[in-house]
Amino acid sequence: MIFGLPVISVTIWLPILFGILVLATGDDKNAPLARILSLVGSVLGFLVTLPLYTGFDKTTSNMQFVEQHDWITRFNIHYYLGVDGISMLFILLNSFFTVIVVLAGWKVIEKRVAQYMASFLIMSGIINGVFGALDSMLFYVFWEAMLIPMFIIIGVWGGPNRIYATMKFFLYTLLGSLLMLVSLIYLYNLTGSFSILDFHQAAIPMSAQILIFIAFFFAFAVKVPMFPVHTWLPDAHVEAPTGGSVILAAIMLKVGAYGFLRFVLPITPDASHKLAGLMIALSLIAVVYIGLVALMQSDMKKLVAYSSISHMGFVTLGIFIFNAYGLEGALLQMLSHGFVAGALFLGIGVLYDRMHSRQIADYGGVVKKMPIFAAFFMLFAMANSGLPGTSAFVGEFMVLMGTIKVNFWYAFAAGTTLIFGAAYTLWLYKRVMFGEVTNKHVEELTDVNAREILIMTILAVIVLGMGLYPLPLSDVLHASVNDLLVHVAHSKLPL
């Protein structure tokens, strides 16, 4: 409880409320006010999520901070919120990144500032709703509503090809969502309730499980994104403004993987086991093939976008090997990737704001002009390639441990990411940072300012902290992950 109000509701509605307030400041005459108001809103939005961590009971896998009210009684739909170890950290992650995004857009966004900031604040609240919802219709409403601000963010503040990208983004994700809606209604007819926890108990015949699995697969795989439904992501990332890319990479991709953990595994465990081979194959293709694709990119944002897909392949691999190492590794990898990819996109944003180019070829020798920035970027590049001591290593290592228990060759294939990841990241770093200064614009670069240093420092501390001492995070996960494994091991076929 915060001032007598339920915590999760506050984390959802406070940012939305501030978003509306920011919108009310009107046009760009009041931009400074809009900026300050959104900073206040996002910081408060982050602070109110902290009780979720401090008040969290690590010993139980039950839902905590539960709120349940009638919503649409005709369909037994409730306003039903709660978190467990799997979802709680993502609410914190999301609210944290909203602060970062507001800071990152502080000076860069000059047109329609209020609308930009408000979109992010409203989206932040909606995404918290996605992670907090325990009623599947509530989940679905948040899930779809999440698309609207992102659609506008990419479409209004994006790059030259933004309209194509944002349409593709919206329609791709809508395809999956609509199929998911059909399965949710099917499950409702089966159980008489829209509660996700009731779905977890439902007995479903194999044929139906497979169809439900496929529908959920489209919904969540598009968001993750898994090979071969990943093609929207590079377009969306490249065209999105920096803040949009950060939220996409840090949060939106995680929503898909979260969907697998919350819906697919516990509701259709038998179909999951049956189709695990396919999922592992797709994950490995993402890890290896997309890793190679990343190597060949000439656009920095595209490179990081493909690297995200490759890293998310690790996450889905960890999910579908069904053991504790894999699942916890996947969750830690998700968190870590949020920070690392977010930081990389912010770094690229720093360069783009100064040079207005994302082409690797336009850079070279940046380290001579921006040494502080180059140092930060080095750390994040290392983290992206999974160097021990950084956050990325922990998750990847655990997933590899889990995988090797299942099959050596899976682990072998997945392990190549450590090589490819290092290759494309370090090659990117070399081409951008080192070498002779060939472009006269690089000559005019100025190093990062105090605001950018602040953002980078916070992220650097977290990336290193998570890498050196992951216990406070992994501790939270244990109970829920073990409970999930019990669900997965348990056949849901009707007797």
- Confirm or reject binding of residue 40 to another protein (CB under 8 A): no
- Confirm or reject binding of residue 73 to another protein (CB under 8 A): yes
Of the candidates 95, 116, 69, the residue with the CA atom closest to the CA atom of residue 11:
95
User: Closest separation between CB of residue 74 and another protein, Å?
Assistant: 5
115 vs 297, which CB is nearer to another protein? 115
192 vs 371, which CB is nearer to another protein? 192
Hey, what amino acid is at 314?
F
- Confirm or reject binding of residue 75 to another protein (CB under 8 A): yes
Of the candidates 137, 161, 331, 133, the residue with the CA atom closest to the CA atom of residue 239:
161
Query: Looking at 45-53, 91-99, 164-172, 252-260, which segment touches another protein (CB under 8 A)?
Result: 164-172
- Distances in Å between the Cα of 1 and the Cα atoms of 11, 325, 360 are 11, 33, 49
Q: Which of 3, 59, 74, 356 binds another protein (CB under 8 A)?
A: 74
User: Closest separation between CB of residue 414 and another protein, Å?
Assistant: 34
Of the candidates 410, 466, 488, 398, the residue with the CA atom closest to the CA atom of residue 200:
488
148 vs 375, which CB is nearer to another protein? 148
Question: Helix or strand or coil: residue 197?
Answer: helix
What does the alpha-carbon distance between residue 87 and residue 244 come to, in Å, rounded to a whole number? 22
Q: Which of 33, 39, 50, 144 binds another protein (CB under 8 A)?
A: 144
User: Closest separation between CB of residue 145 and another protein, Å?
Assistant: 6
- Confirm or reject binding of residue 360 to another protein (CB under 8 A): no
* DSSP category for residue 313: H
- Confirm or reject binding of residue 131 to another protein (CB under 8 A): no
181 vs 485, which CB is nearer to another protein? 181
User: Closest separation between CB of residue 114 and another protein, Å?
Assistant: 9
- Confirm or reject binding of residue 141 to another protein (CB under 8 A): yes
- Confirm or reject binding of residue 189 to another protein (CB under 8 A): yes
What does the alpha-carbon distance between residue 391 and residue 339 come to, in Å, rounded to a whole number? 9
116-119 own/partner pairs: CB under 8 Å, 24+ apart: 116/153, 116/156, 116/157, 116/241, 116/243, 117/19, 117/22, 117/34, 117/35, 117/37, 117/38, 118/19, 118/20, 118/22, 118/23, 118/34, 118/38, 119/19, 119/149, 119/150, 119/152, 119/153
What is the contact surface with another protein in residues (CB under 8 A)?
A: 27, 71-75, 115, 137, 140-141, 144-145, 147-148, 151-152, 155-156, 162-163, 166-167, 170-171, 174-175, 178-179, 181-182, 185-186, 188-189, 211
